[in-house]
Amino acid sequence: MRRIEYLHKVRHRPDQFTILVREIPPSSEHISYGACVDDFFSKHHPHTYQSCQILYDGKIIEDLLHDAVSIERKIQHMIQKQGRGSKFFNLCSKSIEEREVYEEKLQQLCHRIRNLQRKNILKEKELPVAFVSFKTRQGATIAYQSQQHDNPLIWVTEMAPEPRDVSWKNLSVPRCHFLLHKIGVFLGASLLTIFFAIPVAAVQGIAQFEKLKKWFPPAMAVQLIPGLRSIVTGYLPSAILNTFIYIVPFAMVAMARLQGFFSRSKGDMKACSMVFYFLVGNVFFLSLLSGSLLHQIGESIAHPGDFPRHLAAAVSAQADFFITYILTDGLSLFSLEILQAGLLIWDFIRANTFGRGQNENPYLFSLPYYRVIPFVSVSILIGMVYAVVAPLLLPFLVVYLFLGYVVYVNQIQDVYDTTYETCGQYWPYIHQYITIAIILMQITMIGLFGLKSKPAASISTLPFLLLTILFNEYCKMRFYPTFFNNSIQNAVKNDQLDEKDVSAEECCESAISAYVQPCLRPISFSCHESSSMQPLVVSA
């Protein structure tokens, strides 16, 4: 309901009138893809179709724009030095001549860019991808939820993402390549998960001091210093684990964006799932099984019915480690989140090395969903599993969630910039993560009752496990489609409300202009160089 209410509040957004069309087939009747799209939708959606925006291969223009912006920054830097009254700069005729050379180069680049932006040149670089706008939301909803052709592999329609959410580079990737990208990303994530088992196993070796003394006898010297053993076996493993894990989300989001999603939000959602399952595999299960990993895996495969007992025994043995992990995660990650230490260090390195002079204004980052959501979800999973085995962990989890709420409310309101809006599309993923946590908790309960020699209690827990799975399936059928589809009923209702709104027609007409490629949008430079300098214009 909240998603529907929010869509009603933002009903003038251009993405509600626009769809993304991919795999446009070449036509013998039309020379260009643009004419083909216009003819197809005019014929099959005559009452609602409005216009289309074809995408172009703008790599050359983007490279020229990058060079132009770089030269303009250099000119601005020279002007600022001259404005500060540098005597040496004013007396140096070589610097003045250098500025004139840069101005001439900038004018030449602008002339080349304007030539490349001409319609007859752009037609030769058309891609089989287009944004199609409609006069009503109902028309857009029907178009993207319908199969446009007998062959489902052509004229593929999807609801357009928000204009600022579009990943322009991925739109040029052919749809047939998506499977290869998906396989490559899956293999990369799997290899990262497998190789990450090495530091996790090493960390657990430190946590289990009695075994560590057998493997590494010099470690007995730790007992000579009072209190040092508690630090080494308690705090140090969690600190090392968090340090290793801090870099994982950035690697996962880089792989997710290589998969070819046409919007940044889809890539971030995929990264959320990849990071979550990575953490469940490496932080939760591998931490539980690292003491006798191969033996436990072999026993679980040979006797799958005994898996709940093995899980319950392993969970009980690692209670202290996970309490420390929750505390370390809360104290360290939330502190780093407030201080923004990583971004400050990165900005300092960039400002003094390869990025010197490129960004004088501070750059606002968006909320890293792919890092925040999985870590909080794994903490909730640990808390739910230990709610039965070690209830002492629950107060620490409550404090952790309270701190997280306070920190991230402040960060969202005052620190991070809103770079895209998904209208609640992250909630199905959070629901899935919590469902997994509940299922693991119930399996652990079955195993725990088995360890306590109470078979009746174990059997009575099975219906709860079945009910959880059935409830999850019901939620998928009842609520999941609402987050990724728009109903005709709500589209018609919003269209009827717009009949009384004068500004609604202007929003509808300007919908397609919101999806002009960045390389074709008007760009104006500060006109310090020359009066003949014109802004970069001309879109198709």
pLDDT > 90 fraction of the chain, expressed in percent and rounded: 13
Residue 151 has pLDDT above 70, yes or no: yes
pLDDT of residue 346: 74
Residue 111 has pLDDT above 80, yes or no: yes
pLDDT > 70 fraction of the chain, expressed in percent and rounded: 76
How many Å separate Cα 391 from the centre of its chain? 34
pLDDT of residue 134: 92
Coil, strand or helix: which one is 249? helix
- In this prediction, residues 427-435 reach a mean pLDDT of 93
* Band of pLDDT at residue 217, cut at 50, 70 and 90: low
CB environment 499-533: b (16+ within 10 A), e (fewer)? eeeeebeebbeebbebbbbebbeebebeeebeeeb
Least confident of 227-231, 407-411, 457-461: 227-231
Contact of 500 with 482, CB cutoff 8 Å = no
pLDDT of residue 276: 92
Residue 377 has pLDDT above 80, yes or no: yes
Residue 354 has pLDDT above 50, yes or no: yes
Dihedral, CA of residue 288, residue 289, residue 292 and residue 294, to nearest 10: 180
pLDDT of residue 293: 43
Most confident of 78-87, 203-212, 518-527: 518-527
Dihedral, CA of residue 22, residue 28, residue 29 and residue 35, to nearest 10: 30
Q: Residue 476: what residue type? A: K
Distance CA 451, CA 136 (A): 62
Dihedral, CA of residue 124, residue 107, residue 534 and residue 77, to nearest 10: 120
Least confident of 40-54, 280-294, 315-329: 280-294
Coil, strand or helix: which one is 423? coil
pLDDT of residue 536: 40
* Band of pLDDT at residue 193, cut at 50, 70 and 90: confident
Question: Which is more confident, 524 or 162?
Answer: 162
Contact of 193 with 282, CB cutoff 8 Å = yes
Question: Which is more confident, 303 or 405?
Answer: 405
Coil, strand or helix: which one is 158? strand
* Band of pLDDT at residue 539, cut at 50, 70 and 90: very low
Q: CA 368 → CA 161, 274, 429, 519, distances in Å?
A: 19, 14, 15, 27
- The closest alpha carbon to 130, from 166, 81, 181, belongs to 166
Q: CA 163 → CA 122, 144, 149, 264, distances in Å?
A: 21, 17, 27, 11
Residue 339 in tokens: 């201080």
Least confident of 218-227, 319-328, 441-450: 218-227
Q: What is the pLDDT of residues 50-82, one digit of tens each?
A: 988 899 988 888 888 888 888 888 888 777 766
pLDDT of residue 205: 57
Q: Residue 375: what residue type? A: F
Coil, strand or helix: which one is 304? helix
Question: Which is more confident, 10 or 212?
Answer: 10
- The closest alpha carbon to 321, from 246, 220, 209, belongs to 209
* Band of pLDDT at residue 206, cut at 50, 70 and 90: low
What values do phi and psi take at 86, rounded to 5? -70, 115
Dihedral, CA of residue 414, residue 271, residue 192 and residue 312, to nearest 10: 90
Kindly report the number of other CB atoms within 10 A of residue 355's CB atom: 12
Q: What is the pLDDT of residues 314-341, one digit of tens each?
A: 676 677 777 777 777 666 778 778 877 7
pLDDT of residue 19: 93
pLDDT of residue 84: 57
Mean model confidence pLDDT for the chain = 78
The H or E element that residue 83 is part of is helix 59-83
pLDDT of residue 435: 94
Kindly report the number of other CB atoms within 10 A of residue 343's CB atom: 14
**Angle 229-233-238 (CA atoms, 0-180°, nearest 5)?**
140
Least confident of 89-103, 361-375, 408-422, 491-505: 89-103
Residue 540 has pLDDT above 60, yes or no: no
pLDDT of residue 460: 85
- In this prediction, residues 16-41 reach a mean pLDDT of 88
Burial tier of 535 (Cβ tally within 10 Å: 0-12, 13-18, 19+)? exposed
* Band of pLDDT at residue 527, cut at 50, 70 and 90: very low
Contact of 148 with 27, CB cutoff 8 Å = no
Q: Name the packing angle between helices 427-451 and 307-317 (round to 10°).
A: 100
Coil, strand or helix: which one is 418? coil
pLDDT of residue 64: 87
What values do phi and psi take at 395, rounded to 5? -60, -40
Distance CA 118, CA 350 (A): 36
pLDDT of residue 531: 36
Contacts of 113 (CB under 8 A, 6+ apart): 61, 64, 65, 68, 536
Q: Helices in 329-368 by DSSP H: which ranges?
A: 334-339, 341-352
Residue found by looking up tokens 């497998």 in the block: 194
Least confident of 27-36, 149-158, 401-410: 27-36
Q: Residue 329: what residue type? A: D
